[in-house]
Amino acid sequence: MHLLTIFVRIAIFVLFFKWRITYAARAISSTDAGGIGMSKAATFWTASIAGELWFAFMWVLDQLPKTMPVRRAVDVTALDDDTLLPAMDVFVTTADPDKEPPLATANTVLSILAAGYPAGKVTCYVSDDAGAEVTRGAVVEAARFAALWRAMLVLAAAAVPIALVWASAGEILLLFGQDPAIAAEAGAYARWMIPSLAAYVPLACALRFLQAQGIVVPVMASSGVAADKMDAAEDDYLLVV
């Protein structure tokens, strides 16, 4: 498919230059024969077509390696033992927070930390020639965010067995000798709670992250709204004995 696209573009180029040369010859011949205008027109069209041919030639040279691209495959079996992988130091340099936004520096650090490489063998160094406090703060927050998304991955992985347990809560209660009617209601309640795990994973990490930053206003506001809704709603409890 890629080769077909290249050949179609080359065909379009050939047709375009055929039309360009034909049109240029017609335009030159339509000027005053033998006059200065005809000479200028010929010079103009010749220079224009030569420039277009040069750019087309450069494009063809750029397309030649794409006709036979080099594809490399990773030998996964050689990466079974992490101890064989060498330690790697990555340096991120910045000089001016105005010309190099701290957000770009932080994203670079996050990309390095998210690389599929053993965490104990990757060391990221950030060098700021300007010594800007805003850059330092962005990098520190990026490192904290890296810990946040790692925690989210761990909680997401832990949510899978929890969801399986909740899905089988009724059967598990029956194994412990619980009343069948109560076990059925408790199992249905637990199954309806499974979708809440998808919201709990990012919410729990966000709460811990905000608490670590000393930001308590969002947590207080959400707790107040939740308490108000609970007071307004009818009390309904499921008690399993």
Residues placed in the known binding site for UDP-alpha-D-glucose: 99-100, 129
Residue 213 · residue 222 · CB < 8 Å? no
Q: Rounded to whole angstroms, how far apart are CA atoms 17 and 136?
A: 56
Structure tokens at 40: 């200028």
| Neighbouring C-beta atoms of residue 188, cutoff 10 Å | 13
Q: Rounded to whole angstroms, how far apart are CA atoms 81 and 97?
A: 40
Q: Rounded to whole angstroms, how far apart are CA atoms 11 and 60?
A: 12
Binding residues: 99-100, 129
| SS3 of 37-65 | HHHHHHHHHHHHHHHHHHHHHHHHHHHHH
Residue 127 · residue 92 · CB < 8 Å? yes
Residue 41 · residue 28 · CB < 8 Å? yes
Q: Rounded to whole angstroms, how far apart are CA atoms 207 and 203?
A: 6
